[in-house]
Amino acid sequence: MLTLGVEEEYLLVDPATGAPVPRAEAVLGAADLRPALQPSEAQPELLQVQVETATPVCEDLAAVPRHLARMRAALQASAAQHGCRIVAVGAAPFGTGGPVPVTRGDRYRTARSEAPHLVDDLMLNGMHVHVGIDDEEERVAALVRIRPWLPVLVALSANSPLWQGTDTRFASWRTVHFDRWAVSGPPPAFHDAADHRRRLDALIASGAVRDLGQLYWHARLSERYPTVEVRAADVQLTVADAELVAGIVRGLVTTAVLDERRGAPRTDPPEEMLRAATWHAARTGLHGELISPLDGRGHPAAHVVGELLHHIGPGLRAGGDEERVRAGWARTAAEGNGADRQRAWFADGGRDGLTAGLLAAAVTG
């Protein structure tokens, strides 16, 4: 059983209009966040309209929703005292009407000076799942083995259909938006740990990126922890949605480790097919077809998610997560993912309806 931890990024909004508001410093500095939320569990993000949380290391999947519910509730209470609320959306559905201030610090100011138009539009929120693997070679092997399934995760977790007040016609606009950065999308198929270190060193030496924090692949090895960090998912509307994604990611990574240990052959899809599958998944979400990693052809989305769940069965059983994950998928199959629910709220109630739905979902179990 591999350990896991979850990072979530939230948007701070005006509860009356749903517009982003730059109050992260005040929200995170509130004294009454303690002891419900420890200093190590909440941090600022690049923009002052965002805050980020990180759970402790968890062995039991059931601990993840408990921590997320606690942290969301504490941040929501603090935000309310400062005239705003948190919402868990992959992309800000409404704009601010101008540039958003960055968080204080040299790294953030440098990012704004180097790419101001990209940074101004970076009101994007992800969910990052860390799965602990002690051995470096096994971490690299797991990273490579999960690559074919990352587009399916993009579709399943899509929660960013709206941008600047309009429907983008993408289920995960965040995925497409992030692809404008220098290093993004599916990770490379590294040969081994030495190849991984050599290629990352070359990227830094080239000057194309300043540091490893600018490697925005959908999965990477964490710079700080002995983990595979899966970053493909939009932040999830509800705690229950987040539990499903976390469970699937741990199952996927665990299955990859088990396959590596038994010497199963690695699947190595062509780079162009993997990128096309990612773009297609970001557009369709759970509607229409997804490209199956098994045969490279389009199939109904529910069928391809079923293939994913079958593939990760050994990992789910190893972690004791199969029942919780399958129940979570049954709920999502019936209710839709975050993109589906956002669109329904917007269609039924316009801006007010969407804002109300987002506010309620953020602290829903």
* Structural domains in the chain, sorted by start: 4-354 (3.30.590.20)
- Beta carbons of 312 and 257 less than 8 angstroms apart: no
Structure confidence at residue 365 (pLDDT): 67
Structure confidence at residue 31 (pLDDT): 63
Structure confidence at residue 110 (pLDDT): 76
pTM of the shown model: 0.96
Q: Which residues partner with 8 through β-bridges?
A: 53, 127
Query: DSSP string spanning 244-281?
Result: HHHHHHHHHHHHHHHHHHTTPPPP---HHHHHHHHHHH
Query: DSSP string spanning 50-116?
Result: EEEEEPPPBSSTTHHHHHHHHHHHHHHHHHHHTT-EEE--SB-SS--SSPPPBPSSHHHHHHHHHSH
Mean pLDDT by 10 residues, the chain (365 residues): 96 97 92 77 92 96 97 94 97 88 78 74 94 98 98 98 96 94 93 97 91 93 96 98 98 98 94 96 96 97 98 97 98 97 98 98 87
- In the chain, at which residue ranges do the beta strands (DSSP E only) sit? 4-13, 42-44, 50-54, 85-87, 126-132, 162-163, 166-167, 184-185, 216-217, 219-221, 227-234, 289-291, 298-300
Q: What is the DSSP letter of 345?
A: H
- Structure tokens given for 362: 């953020």
* Strand (E) or helix (H) holding 48: none
- Beta carbons of 6 and 127 less than 8 angstroms apart: yes
